[in-house]
Amino acid sequence: MMADPTPPDNRHSSPPAPAPAPRPAVKKSKAEAGDEMRNMWRMAHMGLEFAGAMVVLALIGWLVDRRYGTAPIFALIGGGVGFTGGMYLFIKAALKANRANAPTTHRTTDHPTATTRDPNHP
């Protein structure tokens, strides 16, 4: 009897799966590409603003600690205040960006489906 030439590990394995078909490239208009770039820079700005507020105030606290020998007290306070202020600015910018990208819908009482409740009617 002859020995099987294939190694025992590969004897019962299935053939490799075919490579997925490449997706067709979607061309974006210059306006869409510009919007994406603007959004990317806005997000980068928000992150840097958050980190910057925390680092700068922690650094100021560290300098105060070094001057007066108060160990990490003012550095921690500065980092905490920086974190809080940075988070406030981050949320404020995120809400502003959300409002700018949201579709505008206005509901007025002039709308035919709008209902107003009569205070004298139960």
Residue 101: per-residue pLDDT = 77
Domain boundaries, the chain: 41-99
What span, in angstroms and rounded, lies between the C-alpha atoms of 33 and 44? 17
Contact criterion met (CB below 8 Å) for 45 and 94:
no
Q: Angle, nearest 10°, between helix axes 73-101 and 30-68?
A: 160
Contacts of residue 52, Cβ cutoff 8 Å, sequence gap at least 6: 86
- pLDDT of residue 113 exceeding 70, the answer is no
Output the CA torsion sign for 28, 31, 92, 88.
positive
**pLDDT tops 70 at residue 117:** no
Q: Give 78-84's long-range contacts (Cβ < 8 A, gap of 24+).
A: 79/54, 81/57, 82/53, 82/54, 82/55, 82/56, 82/57, 82/58, 83/53, 83/54
Closest CA to 35 of 90, 79, 97, 122: 97
Band (pLDDT 50/70/90 cuts) for residue 92 is: very high
Higher pLDDT, 107 or 51: 51
The pLDDT value given to residue 15: 72
Residue 64: the pLDDT is 96
CA 28/CA 40 separation, integer angstroms: 16
Give the model confidence (pLDDT) of 33-91 as tens digits. 888 888 889 889 999 999 999 999 999 999 999 999 998 999 999 999 999 999 999 99
pLDDT digits (tens, 9 = 90+) for 12-29: 567 777 888 887 777 778
pLDDT score recorded for residue 79 = 96
